[in-house]
Every structure is written in C-alpha cells, then in structure tokens.
Amino acid sequence: MWNALRPNEKNLRAWQVALLVVLLVAWHLLSRNEQTAFFLGQPVQVAGRIWTWFMPIALPANALFPEGLQGNADIYLHLGVTLLETVLAFGVGTLLGLVFGLWLALAPTAGAILDPYIKAANSMPRVILAPIFALWFGLGIWSKVALAVTLVFFIVFFNVYQGVKEVSPVVLANARMLGASHRQLLRTVYLPSATSWVFSSLHTSVGLAFVGAVVGEYLGSARGVGYLILQAEGVFDVNTVFAGIVVLTAFALVLDGLVGGIERRLMKWQPRQGETEKL
C-alpha cells in the first residue's frame, strides 16, 4: 500500500497538489487567530481579493464574506503595465546579454580590458539605481524596464560567456580543419554550445524581470501591481499584499512555462535526464 503511495513519476503531481492543500489549510488554521491574521493574512480573504480584481461579477453576502464581493477590473490595467515592463526588460536584457556575452567570449583582449568593470557592475546592488533611472527616464514604464534589464543582463551574459568558453577545443579544431569560416563557427559551434546555458539562465531571468519591474513600481509609480502592493502596505492591508504576490507568482510561472516550452522545442537534440540515465 505504502509503496503505491510513495512519490514517483505517476503520482508526483498529486503529491505537489497535496502539499499545496496542506499549506493552505495550515495557513487558514493559523489565521483564525486575529492577531496572527493581522500579520499573515487570511487565505479566504486573499482569494476574495483576487476574485474582486479579476471577476466583474459581484457575489452576495455570505458566511465567508459578510459584506459580499464587488467586482473591480482595474487589475487588468495594472497587471498589463507590469507584464509589459517585464516582457520588455526580459527581451532587451536577454538580447544584450547574448550579444555582449558572445562578443567578450570571442574577443579575449576586450574581455580582459572590461573584466574588472563587468565584475564591479555585477557586484553593485542594482536596486539602488532605481532613483537614477527615475531621474533619467521619468516615472513611466521605461525606468522600470531599465532597472529590470540590469538584473536580467548579467544572468544571461555570464551564462553565454561561460557557454562559449566551454566549447570543446577538439570540436573547434575539427571545424577549422574542415574549412569552417568564423561566421560558420559562430552559427554551428559557438551558438549551439551556448544555447543550453542561455535557457538555464532564462528561467532565472523571468523572475528577475518581474522583480525589477515590481521594485521599480514600488519605489515610484502610479500604475502596476507593485503600486497596488505599496498602496495596500500603506493601510496595513496584508490580504491585498498577499493577493498581489499570488498574482505575480502565477504570471511568473506562466512566463517560465512559456520559456520551458520554447526550450523543449529548440533543444530536441539534447537527451533528457531520463534518457541519459538509461544510456
């Protein structure tokens, strides 16, 4: 009996859902204490707040919501702004990281000259740049995009740089011996070698793009989910804060899933973990 219930590939999803249910039940039980609920919020109220954000349909008063729920679709405007900032930052940061990573990996002299400056920029806590970007680009979306780009760029850059450096010298020597040009080496050797490193960095970059966008909104904005969270914190509305966190997490998982789908489509040539173990 126990062997059938042990986690495996067939029932892994059920175990994941069960863990989520246990956590939600524990949260609900803890929130029944009013003092604890002030700090941890109440899952039922969080769910109700998300409902009012996304569903224009009002719910009548009931035992769970004595005052009822009145729908308000403003979240679509705020969420649209945050998603736009995130996608722009993700795209721009990934492109810049890919270009500069390839360039410095293939240009040792330039890499040696810029090495201390790149390390210094990467070591700097880039969140402190938010006020500077707000001064340069204003309080619109571009200051948030600029901040998020600085977070995404270095993740992609270092992975691309390392991926190119990991190219087998034997493969390079064989390609050159067969008469491959520099452009052909880039297309058939360097880029395929860096691809797996790039996709591993993109999963992290999605979350960082959200972080940059939300932190930028948090520090100065009139729109966005970060702005909603800031307004809720100002009146100690912890349920709205958690609702914003849940919404951001859900959409971050959606974007990460899209990246994973593209990765599986482009990396069909790479054996999966299970196939590697069988070999």
How do the domains of the chain map onto residue ranges? 75-271
75-271 CATH pick, 3.30.450.20, 1.25.40.80, 1.10.10.10, 1.10.3720.10: 1.10.3720.10
The helix (H) or strand (E) run that includes residue 17 is: helix 12-30
Structure tokens at 229: 């969270």
Nearest to 210 by CA among 194, 195, 225: 225
For 246, residues 6+ apart whose C-beta sits below 8 A from its C-beta are 46, 50
Q: Which residue has the tokens 């998982």?
A: 253
Is the model's pTM score more than 0.75? yes
267 burial via Cβ count (<10 Å: 0-12, 13-18, 19+): middle
What pLDDT is recorded for position 92? Answer: 93
What pLDDT is recorded for position 109? Answer: 86
49 burial via Cβ count (<10 Å: 0-12, 13-18, 19+): buried
Structure tokens at 252: 């971050």
Structure tokens at 24: 């939600």
Q: Which residues of the chain are modeled with pLDDT < 50?
A: 63, 66, 68, 274-277, 279
